[in-house]
Amino acid sequence: MIKSYDVIVKLIDRYDYGGALDILNEKGLENTDAATIIKSCKYAVNFDFETAYNILMHLSNEKKEKKIVVNLKRNLKDLMNGDPNAIFSELIENIKFQIVNEEYIDFLGRVYRFKEAILKYIFVKEHINRTKFSFLIDAMSKKRILKILRKKYKIFNSNLIYAISTYINKYLSEKKKYVNIVRLLNSEKMTSLIELRNSSIVGHGFIGVSREDISRAYGNPYNIIDDYKFCLKLLDINVESYKYSRINDYVKKELYDITYDNSKSINVKYCT
């Protein structure tokens, strides 16, 4: 036997909010404020930010006023609006989840999408030249970008990453920050990593991926997060680090108060 609190903590630390919520539901604690926040996170990590936001409306009035909840609601609104700072920060967190949970194929999928997102952001930001920017605008679509690249810039490569890289090297070479970003994103080690992705189930093949494979291609997987943060810094993107770690610490304190301080200690059989 092991206390449910300890099991839930392990699940939360691995960002398995669905698993933590299942235990709380089994114990009749699904309507607690802690469960409500966990449920919100469950949807947020799957990029359903609107549902995540609406769930927080069910918190008690006392918890709605807490600084961490107010900040979370503000962040979810920014995500719903496609704010670049919020979106890129969320993507960074998402990549970290895959490393923690050793889900390396999904990790490679996120890495590829992040690389693509940075390049799309640079192109659209330069092309439309507007101060207010959102990831939700039509100009961010792959089809639209490739059409503009063909029609206006005579770049006919159908691979979005290579097409935008060509555009930057050809038309934005005086902007060193962009050139440095492209150089890093198209480096030999990044190319090796993308080749792993292409050979996996999220690409075009069926080859498995281990941590050792990633380490041989790029080094420590967390190095990729550091390199992406470097790119975002060059783009003046403010990355919010440890968002979910802060939420987890708050929720664990709330759960501790429920299961221990109030003498409502709950137990569950834990099978290994």
Q: Taking residues 174-202, report their average pLDDT.
A: 96
| In the chain, % of residues over pLDDT 70 | 94
- pLDDT of 259 reads 67
- pLDDT of 129 reads 72
- pLDDT of 260 reads 61
Q: Which tokens hold the place of 207?
A: 């080859």
- pLDDT of 3 reads 75
- pLDDT of 141 reads 95
- pLDDT of 174 reads 96
3-state secondary structure 84-127: HHHHHHHHHHHHHHHHHCCCHHHHHHHHHHHHHHHHHHHHHHHH
117 confidence band (pLDDT: 50, 70, 90) = very high
How far is Cα 153 from Cα 164, in angstroms, rounded to an integer?
10
- pLDDT of 264 reads 44
Q: Annotate 204-234 with b (16+ C-beta within 10 A) or e (fewer).
A: eeeeebeeebbeebbeebeebbebbbebbeb
- The residue among 112, 121, 250 whose CA lies nearest residue 194 is 112
245 confidence band (pLDDT: 50, 70, 90) = very high
pLDDT digits (tens, 9 = 90+) for 213-224: 999 999 999 999
127 confidence band (pLDDT: 50, 70, 90) = confident
pLDDT digits (tens, 9 = 90+) for 83-115: 999 999 999 999 999 999 999 999 999 999 999
Tell me the domain boundaries of the chain: 2-80+243-268, 103-234
Alpha carbons within 13 angstroms on the beta-carbon side of residue 131 total: 0
Question: DSSP string of the chain?
Answer: -EEHHHHHHHHHHTT-HHHHHHHHHHTT-TTSHHHHHHHHHHHHTTT-HHHHHHHGGGS-HHHHTSHHHHHHHHHHHHHHTT-HHHHHHHHHHHHHHHHHTT-HHHHHHHHHHHHHHHHHHHHHHHHH--SS--TTSGGGSHHHHHHHHHHHH----S-HHHHHHHHHHHHSTT-HHHHHHHHHHTSHHHHHHHHHHHHSTTTTS-----HHHHHHHHSSHHHHHHHHHHHHHHTT-----SHHHHHHHHHHHHHHIIIIITS---EE----
Q: What is the mean pLDDT of the chain?
A: 92
- Provide the 10 A C-beta neighbour count for residue 23: 19
Q: Taking residues 180-209, report their average pLDDT.
A: 95
Q: Taking residues 178-191, report their average pLDDT.
A: 97
pTM of the complete model: 0.91
- pLDDT of 257 reads 81
The yes-or-no verdict on residue 193 having pLDDT over 90 is: yes
User: Would you mind telling me the total number of residues written for the chain in this entry?
Assistant: 272
Q: Taking residues 54-63, report their average pLDDT.
A: 97
pLDDT digits (tens, 9 = 90+) for 26-39: 989 999 999 999 99
- pLDDT of 266 reads 47
Q: Taking residues 124-131, report their average pLDDT.
A: 82
